[in-house]
Structures are given as C-alpha cells and as structure tokens.
Amino acid sequence: MKRRVLPSLNALRTFEAVARHNSFTRAAEELNVTQSAASRLVHSLEEYLEVALFTRRSRRIELTDQGHYYSRLVSRSLDLLEAGTVELMSSKAGQGTLSVGMLPTFGTRWLLPRLPSFQKLYPDILVNVVSSDGELDFINERIDIAIRFGHGQWPDALIDPLMSEEIQVVCSPMLLDGRPDLTLPAQLSSYRLIDHSTRPDSWEYWFRSIGSDVPAMNWGPRLEHFFMIIEAAKAGLGMALLPTFLIEQELLQAQLVSPFAQRVAGPGAYYLITPQTKAGLPRVMAFRQWVLDQLD
C-alpha cells in the first residue's frame, strides 16, 4: 500500500496560522501554545519539506516564494477539511440544511412548485435555495448541489442530465394587433428583439437552426434572466426567445403567443451537479435522488 507523503497536521495548522498572522506570537495565542512551540513546529515542517518557508530578519518574518505557495495550498485544504468536518458532525440521515444553487427562473418555474413533495418526504431537511448562475464554486458559495445549463462539463462532480429545452419565439398578443401576419422569419427585423445577456447568440442560433438567413436585428431591452424576459415580453417590449417549459402557463392563458410554428432544440441542457466532496452526505443523496425521480 502506498504511503502518503504528508507532514503532521499539527505542523500544518501552526504554519497556516503563522502565515496568516505573519507572527509567531499571534499564531501561538490563537492555537493556545507557546511561541517557542509554534516556532519548533514550523521549523520541523521546513526540515520535513527541505524548503525554507520563512525568512527571518531580527524580529520580523516574511514568507518565501515557496512559503506563499504552500500557505495558500494549506489554507484551502484546511478550509475544505474544516467545512467537511462541520458538515459531517451536524449531518444525520434525513436532517440538516441543504443549500441548492439554482438558476433563478428554473428555480421559480420548475423547482419551487415541486419542492413541497421533497419537504413532505424529508421534513427535517431545511432547504436553502440560492440564486446562482455564474461559475460554480461550491466552497465559496457554500452550496451543496446545483442545477446549471450547459454541456455537462464540470470537473470533480457527479453530472446528471435533467432535460433539454425547446425554444420558440413568443410575444404579447398586443404586439401583433393591427400588423400584417408574420409568415417569414426575416419579418422579425421590423420588431424589437429582446436580448438575453447570458445567451447573446440565441437569436442567431434560432435563425440558423430553422434554415433562415440572419436578418438585421432591431434590438430591444437586454436582460439577464429568463423571468425578466418573460415579463418584458408580456408587457409588449418586444419579441422574446424562450424555452417552452418555462412559459407553459403564459401560453395557456394567452398572455404570450407564438407567431411561428418553428421550435428548435436549445444549444445545451440542464444538469444536476453534485460535487464529489459532498456526494456522500445523506441530505445531498436524498435531494439528488428526489430530483431524478421528478423526471420519471
């Protein structure tokens, strides 16, 4: 069996505290040890690594280049170990707080209406839904599991495909009143097109997917989230390109209409992303299985 090449945890904790405080005295106070004990532990770490981590000038210390590199590495590792320890200590089967990183409109339209069934199954799990659509950072965002739109490429995680999307052009009925019927996609150039800032190529993608040349586009408001685009379209601010499953109610109630029959598959899909570091936590396992069961 391969033996790990690791120094003592006590030495690492001491080094991280000294590097953070830039002081043996303050680090020793934090760790409740003597200054000489802290100094000996850091010296033993340097001997183990055969690398100088600090330069010592009279009563001042400074991290070396190797020390800067190692302090960042050790600090991140201890943060992760601490977070995992706290979670494990507080986590029991069917209990705890679950933080879910959720796309805002997907969360509002798809997750929240279904969430009562999860709470009925697991009444002791407190679900914290965090609006999150940027780069995934499970540690800094303090989220346990996330749903994202993309192409299924997230490292160090379990990736479960949830659903693709079908996108279509929609608008308020009042936008079409008194105007000629739309028969050709190129006629959209006479309407304002609502722009989705996080999917800037979506209109061009739609035109090309239906085999149409891309006309000159007359841009309307540029909005960040689908729920903003839905409301803007309902208010008559322009034509919108939206996933069908997000606007089923608006279409049913004729708050939005689709002037074209063409619907195309979106450029990606929705995925459930579980970091490997949290995949074994009972509350995360319960939520992951529940989400997958919703697709049956």
Answer whether residue 296 shows pLDDT above 80: no
Rg (Cα) of the chain, in Å, rounded?
A: 27
Task: Check if CATH label 3.90.870.10 holds for domain 96-164+270-293.
Answer: no
Beta bridge partners of 196: 223
Q: Which CATH architecture has domain 9-73?
A: Orthogonal Bundle (1.10)
In words, the CATH class of domain 165-266 is alpha beta
Each residue's pLDDT tens digit, 205-217: 999 999 999 999 9
Q: Six-digit token pair at 218?
A: 């007359």
Answer whether residue 25 shows pLDDT above 80: yes
Q: Tell me phi and psi for residue 177, to 5 degrees.
A: -60, 130
Confidence of residue 96 (pLDDT cuts 50, 70, 90): confident
- Calculate mean pLDDT across residues 127-137: 84
Cβ atoms within 10 Å, residue 181: 7
Is the separation of the CB atoms in 146 and 102 below 8 Å? yes
The yes-or-no answer to whether 9-73 and 96-164+270-293 have a common fold is no
Q: Pairing mode, if any, of strands 54-57 and 60-63? A: antiparallel
So where are the chain's domains?
Answer: 9-73, 96-164+270-293, 165-266
**pTM assigned to the model:** 0.70
Query: What element of type H or E holds 63?
Result: strand 60-63
Confidence of residue 91 (pLDDT cuts 50, 70, 90): low
| Mean residue pLDDT across the chain | 91
